[in-house]
Amino acid sequence: MNSNFIRRWRQSNWVTILILGITVLIFLGETLTGGSQSPQVLVNWGAKYDPLVQIGQWWRLITPVFVHIGFMHIFVNGFTLYYIGGAVEQMIGHWRFALIYLLSGLSGNLMSFALGGAAVSAGASTALFGLFGVYIALGVIFDDSYYLRQTGRQFLMLAIFNLVFDLMASGIDIWGHIGGLIGGFLLISAFALPGQKFRKGVAWQVSASIVFLAICAFLYWLGMVR
């Protein structure tokens, strides 16, 4: 019985459920402490606010992925996380998914910090665009797989569509989305999938890791000096 429980636990999307649960709890906290559309409440719960990042509150480059602005914001992002996040977690494994989700959020918020406006911003979309980047990268890495190649193309079109929509809509942080997309692409390129050798070779893997770290360092420096 214990072995069956452990096997089911390993095969479940428990990281996705955990992240979604934390996100919902934080949204309830926002609602109970003044409302999820209050800038001060958002800042109190960890939203990105550049002046605070610049004085040393670097964690605000990660915590915004758990903070949302209004019910529709968390509903759409939560729905996307549950379905796409669950599929990605099943494909790449729990720890890879957790790292890519959080680090894609970091790279997206860093690009927003460096190139975006100074307004309060929050939301899981930086990390979710990272998951789009995962599918796009897998289509490149496993180019002999019809399924992954076609899925990668579909997510590339989905990402392009969303970025075009970002340009036409107001109040959307397009830089955060671009940064998350690039981060997800590079991060899955740095990992081998469970039980498989890395398809493009160690040089590709190491290069992707170095490029990701270099981009993050440059964006942090740019955000601190602008």
What's the rounded Cα separation, in Å, for the pair 10 and 198? Answer: 22
Q: What is the pTM of this model?
A: 0.92
User: Quick one: angle between helices 94-115 and 125-141, nearest 10?
Assistant: 120
Written as six digits, the tokens of 203 are: 């040089």
Catalytic residue, from 3, 125, 189, 207: name it.
125
Helix (H, G, I), strand (E, B) or coil at 187: helix
Whether 125 is catalytic is yes
What's the rounded Cα separation, in Å, for the pair 108 and 135? Answer: 17
Q: What percent of the chain has pLDDT over 70?
A: 92
Catalytic residue, from 177, 189, 207, 209: name it.
177
Helix (H, G, I), strand (E, B) or coil at 174: helix
DSSP type of residue 193: P
- Which of residues 6 and 75 earns the better pLDDT score? 75
Whole-Å CA distances, 145 to 46, 133, 189: 41, 17, 16
Whether the per-residue pLDDT at 7 is higher than 70: the answer is no
Whether 73 is catalytic is no
Q: What percent of the chain has pLDDT over 90?
A: 74
Per-residue pLDDT tens over the stretch 186-226: 999 888 676 555 666 778 888 999 999 999 999 999 999 98
What's the confidence (pLDDT) of residue 181? 97
